Structure 1
Amino acid sequence: MLIHNLGTDIEVHPSDSSELVAGIMQASTLTLHFKHNEVLNLHQGATVEFQGETFTLIYPEQIKKLFKGYYEYTITFHSTAERLKQKLLKDPSNVARTSFVFAGTPTDFARLIARSMGDGWTVGQCLKTSYDKTVAFRQDTCWTALGRIAQEFQTEWVVEGKTLSFRKHERYKENPLPMSYGMGNGFRSGVSRRGNNDKLPINRLYVLGGSRNIDPTSYGEATLHLPKDWQEEAQMDRLYQFLRTDSEGKYISVLDLSGVGAEGSVELTDIYPSRVGTVSKVLEVDREKHFYDIVDESIPANLNYNDYRIPGEKAILKFQTGDLAGREFELKQTENALTGYHHLERRFELVPKEQDGFIMPSPEWSPHIGDKYAIFGIALPQEYVERAERELLEEAIRTLDERRRPQYTFEGVVDPIWASKRWLEIGGKFVPGGHILFSDPEFHPTGTVIRITSIAQKVNNPKAPTMTLSTAPVSGSFLSRVDKSEAEEVLNRRRNEELQRNQKQSYRQALEHIAMVEKAVTDVEGFTQRIKPSIIETMGILVGSQATQFDFVQAVGSLKSAPFFVNYSPATQRVKISRGVVCHKTYKIEGITNHRKPTDYHYWTIPEYISPALTEDAVSYYIYIRVREDSKEGVYLLSKDPLPFISEDSIHLLVGTLSSVIEGDRAYNRLYGFASISPGQMTVDSIASANGNMLIDLAQGKITASSVSFRRPDGNTTDVGSAVDEANEKANEAYDLANKPDWTIEIIDKERPYAPPLLSDKRPQATYTYQAYRNGKPIDVPSSLISWHRRNPYEYDDEGVSDTAWENAHRHDEEIVLTKRQILGEATFTITADPEELEAHYLSKQGK
């Protein structure tokens, strides 16, 4: 075999252990083992050809000097897919940004990755969907992004050369290669079959559709449902099955006379009535004011968006492609009319919006001819609803087809004599994604069309490959799932921006709040009119009313404060108030004592409240809780006018005020509880900055900062709130350590200290040991006191060893050696020990 090394060809003779390993959603590896009498100066980028494919040296080779002039090499070459691990995924609107949120179809995501890869990467055939998925990325490589995108769309990724696709990796499904055990049938002896434990085929699938662009009052449901009472035959797994939906469109089922099957569910909330339009003209109305209009001449004559508004919702235009991809803009509108759409001209007027520190649209961030867009907050005509229901049905059938198949895994070695005679005919079908019609007259007589999920071929004997065949879906990598949790921080950043919006308050809103308080308490609470001196010099200030001395607590009978939220959404114009338990600490309480019991107070449970759309922008509201003394429950109440504390048989607890709309938003101001200021001391539950950047919740002991951060010693950044939480945790740990010994066990990667217990793709095997710590100090403990645990997704590894058998063999090992075939790419390894046994051992060593 020749290694092409920067223009020089080096001839090597691989040993019989050299092999090619390929699999679905994996980068193929060609590992060569050979001996050579020279030190080979191999460079990254050296290539070798095998089975018609070029493999590249990306990572340094392993070399062992046996004696002078005789060296042993282990070199791993990779397929093109491995290069995806070296490139970061970039925001198409700003390539310097690697933490961002992107929405699109599988084809859109494939373009996103191909654009980040550059160097001739293209997009192949992708799964067709009419709906978008939104995925957050945080400094991801293109490789880790692949797994998450495939998981979001419940499909797979395929890399062929430099062509990337998101679709099921399938080849020769309609013309599978018949194989079975026995002479002249394809497989050597030792063929094995395993089922997937207790997972039964799904006969009934409950389906939840999306809620966007649906008017519940006219549609009858808040979410899209399947076509009702639909039934017909459909081809599933090469057989025709009779399918039907129920009378409410909640589920789809298949007629199965066996009576064996299970129920399943799927959330397809990205499918809803929609129309994707194309910009045919861009009008720059006023550059300084950021006023841009777009025209779509392809809008049908019968689709006048003005006729399909959903009461209480704002019409939103979202760009699907172009510089503004993923950006949402409100259309100009009033309470009763969509003034920002002109049907005769097919023209939309966009409302400028600050996003990521820029006012958009703008000359730098503008729409262009050919950009795709969609409208939301619109109840589209019936034909669009029916089309969405049909798309929901098609996706449900696809999901049901996947989950109906009995899940088997077969392993076997191909008979080389049988393969050699027919190699030109069948050799091309031994590839990941290829299909085999597998049967066995004894343990699998009916036969199954089953997919090759992985294959290993010896370099010196490629016609006797070892194959793994499976009907089970191929899951994404563990690393992709870890990266997904980290990427959630990008979405959390958006949530923090929302929190900042809820905390933010302008001076105008503060003045409005004071006026509302003055109106609410005058002659009701006994307060006099306001005073406005230039200077106040006093020994104390008490802010609050006896009637508002209540708090939200964790449960009836508890005095521990609980979080409480009032959130107003400018998009829907609705206010949402969280469920809570209210404890009033002064109602019918007389006298002062330091020994009052929690049962002396009045408690009420208040359910969550969501208001209708508050469409009167100039109106402000009081937020009350209405309760009764003889009841244990109450309700939230919005009122334009102040209400008395006690009225007939009702009690009105004043929670706060909700301002009128100022700069597109409403501000909530709390009015329950009290604050006191005395020389050198202030007693208060929370402190918030005027711009909403920071909230110090003294009652909960938390700090929330949306933009204040600092750099850790390890180079990562964190916000002040997280730092305070960590400080509290460390203080608690210090207390625990002072009162009780804290035992921990850490898994140590002997080759890469402090690395987590996962086997990198760059290593064929790894060695792990352990270290015990008492109160953070390393202590030697015998291996008889610890236990190793392993969990594979199928409860066995690629070598056929079950997790239980592995644990019985290695439970008390001093160290363990792991290979890729032992972990299936996803196995988790943990170590446990009994703290009392560890403490007893430690004390015995100390002579105690």
Structure 2
Amino acid sequence: MNIQVKRKGIDTVELPLNGSTFTKKVMGEHNLAFSIVTAEKIDLRIGDTVTYKGETFTINQEPSVKRDHLYEYNITFEGNRHTLIRYILKDEGAFTFTYTGQPDDFMFMFLECVNAVDSGWTAGEVEDFEDVTIDFDKNDCLSALSMIAQAFDAEWDIKGKVISLKKTVGVAKDFPVSYGMGNGLYSLTRQSINDKVIVTRAYAVGGDKNLPEGVIGNLKLNDYIEKNVDLYGIREGIFEDEEIYPKRTGTATAVSQSSEEIFTLTDTSIDFDLNGKLISGESGKIVFKSGSLNGNEFDISSYNHATKTIRYKANKDSNGNFFPFGVTVAEIGDKYTLIGIRMPQSDIDSAYAELTAGRLKYLNDNSAPRVVYDLELDLLELKRRETLPDAGDIIPVSDSELGIDENIRVTSVSYPGHYPDVLESGMTFTAEVGNEVTYTLIQKVQNDIKEQKEVVTQYSKTSWENDRRNVQALNEFIGKVLDPDGNLAEPIQQAIVGMFGTPSMYYDLDGISMSVNNGGDPNAFAMTGGRLIHRVFKIDGLGYIWNLAPFSVTGLDPLKSYYLAAKCSRTSLTGEWVLTENQIPTEGDVAYWYFNFGILSSVLEGVRSFRATKGFTVISGGQIETDVITAYMIDVDTLIVKNLKTSSLGKRIEVIAAENNLRMYSDSSDLLLEIDDDNTYEGVNGSGDILFGAGVSVGSSPYNTDGYSSVGKKGFFTKGFFEGKIGLFSDTVKTSKYIGKTEKKTGQISNLSDLILAEGNVILNTVPDVGESCKIKNNTSSTITITASESLGQRFIKQLDNTTTFTMSLGAGSVASFQYHKDVADDLWIRLT
């Protein structure tokens, strides 16, 4: 069963759905991922699409491919929700702005922005909630959508290009599941969520504005509430929300401007006299919550209670300019609030009630361990009941052993892409269920939102004393520093911030490696192809990721040094490497930008070295932000790095954060050992799919003729020798060769392999060892025969039904595994599957 790939609406290639997995999470990933091994190259590009379950899925990142004698592809097509990452949320052209309103207001603003760059987006079901205010700061649209949902304590869902915003997405499904045959559940695993501590005693603290008389610091509840103390003991926690304080949100019924500096706002619903209510030591302010002045606050100069009119002053900048100004002024219907004012008792009571409700919800959410459950559902039972749980649905789950009997949210689902059209043995449908939903913000910069509190390390008294001594010693050091050569105007530079680098050098390289002294020749140099991702420069309408072609050169002058730069087109996302004696300015060519990378030295003591100049470094206070730190010794207690190399060439250890692995290289830069979280070769499964996972590997590749071994979570693989006890058929110690190989074969099988990809009829090994095993997959489109030996009578195949045959048939795409057994009476290849 295949699925058609399209490029700009035109059919290109077809991909097998039996090599795919569909995944969907509530407000999270939505993709169709393929893992394919093929002898032919597949033409796939960013922007290619498939239509699956009535929705369009797009390749947004280059598919990964590994090639030896076969091509191994990992391809991910993502749903429309992921295209929102491409666009920045804007309101009337502004990237940084504050917005106040109800869900309909936010959805109108959001769709207006998205449809300006990608038409066809519409609103689906949008439920009503109270007004909220959100600060946006250069957020991509998918992150912004999650921020909107989180602010309303709601959830978003996208089907096609229709966006819904509801209290809860999904529906209740009448599909009760429990462990056991015919009950719909193969396995159930409970996972603890450790990102929050258990709280059994809760306090509450609000904001510091408009505090009632006698309250100092913050609005707070003087008592506490408890839950589950008998189960978990006293575990204290504090509910905090600085936006909870006595306030009223009013609406302008009339506005006017008296002069360049004075404005008025009338609100006929004001129900108390502001005069005499100013809090001592503070100035009364009006803060706008919507309209052109949204987020701005102004000093109140007077209030007329008879007309319910507030008179406020414009803000004046250092150049003498006033704001509001021109057409950017308050309008009828704009919402506002007041601060610095002693509010009426009704508003104080409302604030305390809101704080009380927040504390109760906080305690209920945190008074027990938070868990989710991983379910493996029975696909046959799903098909029999004609149901398919979706992310967001609610299903009844029960398990008497784990004490579960309740309706639980399905937060994610994952199953083979060709289900339910095809039902095969070995298929799995996994679902995560739990009542916790995560608001995923795509941009890393979102980690700096206001709600996050900076954690400051607390030092002991001994540390303080050591720090003070170090500062005193540093002052002595500064007083002694001198320039022995007399060439420096200032031997010590003192500043608040130091920045090094230029905007043209702010870029990253992806998939590019350098070979200095290429092939042992100091006058040869090479760069592989790959991508240059620039942080500043871009081509409007196209992007900022250039594809660079491979580059190599020989015959360099040993007495000369060279500049290396990336020559990138100003009109297309293509480029090449250039190595020149003379530096070329970034803007030195009307058709290209030249992004300087670094300097290749002359030949010194038989070799060249390369020093990069790209990137930037910022030094401020006690922090250094940079790309690479090179040192002969680093003496620190804690070091957090993205990438670490003990040497640039030859024998070295590398830590690569982006891939989450550790590598060790030989003198000749060959990979010797790797610890990896997801890319260790684990062998081949019964369907012929190559498996990768967490583990340790020795050697550079499972296809390397020099040998390779790996230990993963799912098994052990080696391309060398294996020694151990064979316990099933023999107590003797034996040594076998070629365990774990994958081969394409036709005819005689002479080696022991983990998987034979049969290209035609095959004959099992004629000289097998006791306990030898072999797995064969019919890699053709027709039936093949498997023969037990070269000549009739030497040995037989014992089938699954215990009958013996000399020759058996194997259907197209089917898999059979065998193990050799020999004793006095029998001489058999026993079929295991």
TM-score under structure 1 length normalisation: 0.52
1:432 aligns with 2:432: no
Contact 2:250–2:267, Cα closer than 8 Å, also in 1: yes
SS at 2:280 equivalent: coil
Deviation at 1:21, TM superposition (A): 0.8
Deviation at 1:555, TM superposition (A): 8.0
Out of 257, 282, 287, the position equivalent to 1:313 is: 282
Out of 53, 72, 78, the position equivalent to 1:51 is: 53
The 2-side partners of 1:153 and 1:781 are apart by 54
Out of 30, 33, 37, the position equivalent to 2:32 is: 30
Out of 403, 413, 431, the position equivalent to 1:468 is: 431
In structure 2, do the counterparts of structure 1 residues 709 and 110 end up closer, same or farther at CA, with 3 Å as the change threshold? farther
Deviation at 1:27, TM superposition (A): 3.3
1:703 maps to what in 2? 496
1:82 aligns with 2:70: no
The 1-side partners of 2:500 and 2:470 are apart by 29
The 1-side partners of 2:33 and 2:630 are apart by 53
Question: For residue 185 of structure 1, what is the amino acid of its counterpart?
Answer: N
The 1-side partners of 2:338 and 2:292 are apart by 18
Deviation at 1:208, TM superposition (A): 1.3
Number of equivalent positions: 538
The 2-side partners of 1:418 and 1:392 are apart by 47
1:278 aligns with 2:251: yes
In structure 2, do the counterparts of structure 1 residues 811 and 39 end up closer, same or farther at CA, with 3 Å as the change threshold? closer
Question: For residue 186 of structure 1, what is the amino acid of its counterpart?
Answer: G
Out of 696, 702, 725, the position equivalent to 1:810 is: 696
Q: How does 1:469-488 map to 2 (within 5 A)?
A: 469-471=432-434, 473-477=436-440, 480=443, 482-485=444-447
Per-residue CA deviations over 1:301-338 (Å, capped at 9, x if unaligned) read: x3222243222211111221222211111221xxxxxx
The 2-side partners of 1:726 and 1:772 are apart by 37
Contact 2:408–2:433, Cα closer than 8 Å, also in 1: yes
1:224 maps to what in 2? 219
Deviation at 1:483, TM superposition (A): 1.0
- Identity, in percent, stands at 21
Question: For residue 696 of structure 2, what is the amino acid of its counterpart?
Answer: H
Unaligned 5+ segments in structure 2 are 455-463, 477-490, 508-534, 537-615, 679-691, 703-711, 714-833
Per-residue CA deviations over 1:335-393 (Å, capped at 9, x if unaligned) read: xxxx1x22232322231114798632112422222222211112221111222222223
1:267 aligns with 2:153: no
Out of 198, 204, 209, the position equivalent to 1:207 is: 204
Contact 2:671–2:699, Cα closer than 8 Å, also in 1: no
The 2-side partners of 1:259 and 1:740 are apart by 42
Unaligned 5+ segments in structure 1 are 227-247, 333-338, 493-553, 563-593, 595-697, 760-765, 791-805, 823-848
Contact 1:213–1:379, Cα closer than 8 Å, also in 2: yes
SS at 1:83 equivalent: helix
Higher helix share: 1
Deviation at 1:33, TM superposition (A): 6.2
Deviation at 1:148, TM superposition (A): 5.9
2:177 maps to what in 1? 179
Q: How does 1:636-715 map to 2 (within 5 A)?
A: 701-703=494-496, 711=503, 713-714=505-506
Per-residue CA deviations over 1:705-764 (Å, capped at 9, x if unaligned) read: 9x99985742779xxx99564899799x99986999999986379xxx9x99566xxxxx
Out of 188, 192, 205, the position equivalent to 1:191 is: 188
Question: For residue 28 of structure 1, what is the amino acid of its counterpart?
Answer: H
Deviation at 1:434, TM superposition (A): 1.5
The 1-side partners of 2:283 and 2:471 are apart by 36
SS at 2:405 equivalent: strand
Deviation at 1:396, TM superposition (A): 2.8
In structure 2, do the counterparts of structure 1 residues 207 and 486 end up closer, same or farther at CA, with 3 Å as the change threshold? closer
2:514 maps to what in 1? none
2:416 maps to what in 1? 458
The 1-side partners of 2:415 and 2:267 are apart by 55
In structure 2, do the counterparts of structure 1 residues 151 and 6 end up closer, same or farther at CA, with 3 Å as the change threshold? closer
Contact 2:85–2:442, Cα closer than 8 Å, also in 1: no
Deviation at 1:142, TM superposition (A): 2.2
In structure 2, do the counterparts of structure 1 residues 145 and 308 end up closer, same or farther at CA, with 3 Å as the change threshold? same
Q: What value does the CA root-mean-square deviation take over the aligned residues? A: 5.6
Per-residue CA deviations over 1:130-149 (Å, capped at 9, x if unaligned) read: 6645x462x43223445566
Deviation at 1:179, TM superposition (A): 0.9
Q: How does 1:129-140 map to 2 (within 5 A)?
A: 132=133, 135=135, 137=137, 139-140=138-139
Deviation at 1:781, TM superposition (A): 11
Question: For residue 449 of structure 1, what is the amino acid of its counterpart?
Answer: N
The 1-side partners of 2:347 and 2:280 are apart by 19
Question: For residue 279 of structure 1, what is the amino acid of its counterpart?
Answer: A
Deviation at 1:48, TM superposition (A): 3.7
Deviation at 1:16, TM superposition (A): 1.3
Higher strand share: 2
1:408 aligns with 2:367: no
1:353 aligns with 2:350: no
Deviation at 1:124, TM superposition (A): 5.6
Contact 1:32–1:74, Cα closer than 8 Å, also in 2: yes
The 2-side partners of 1:270 and 1:345 are apart by 29
Q: Higher relative CO (CA 8 A, sep ≥ 6), structure 1 or 2?
A: 1
Contact 1:788–1:812, Cα closer than 8 Å, also in 2: no
SS at 2:200 equivalent: strand
Contact 1:408–1:470, Cα closer than 8 Å, also in 2: no
The 1-side partners of 2:701 and 2:145 are apart by 34
Out of 284, 290, 299, the position equivalent to 1:330 is: 299
The 2-side partners of 1:63 and 1:781 are apart by 20
Per-residue CA deviations over 1:456-491 (Å, capped at 9, x if unaligned) read: 1212223876233343634455854x3135678x99
SS at 2:29 equivalent: coil
Question: For residue 366 of structure 2, what is the amino acid of its counterpart?
Answer: R
Question: For residue 438 of structure 1, what is the amino acid of its counterpart?
Answer: V
